[in-house]
Amino acid sequence: MPLELNTTTKALRCDVCGGIIKTKPIVVKTCCNNKPWTFCSNRCYTTWMRDWLRKQEQARTKAKL
């Protein structure tokens, strides 16, 4: 599962929508990614989480075959 990091940054771009983040970002790192993912809102985070979980399930079912 993704681990939420506690960071303070000035200005970043959201990895999902590409918008500039002006408030405190949501930063998440997973075990399978070396780079942390940055999100501007909970909406972008849940969108990314759905896609990430779907990909994890697909990889898991392929490994069982």
Tens of pLDDT, residue by residue, the chain (65 residues): 676 666 665 558 999 999 999 888 888 888 777 788 899 999 999 999 999 899 888 777 766 65
Instruction: Measure the N-to-C terminal CA separation of the chain; round to a whole number of Å.
Output: 23
The pLDDT of residue 64:
62
Alpha helices by DSSP H, listed for 1-65, are: 42-64
Phi and psi dihedrals of 57, rounded to 5? -65, -40
**Structural domain that includes position 41:** 3-64
What's the structural domain count of the chain? 1
The pLDDT of residue 36:
86
The pLDDT of residue 39:
92
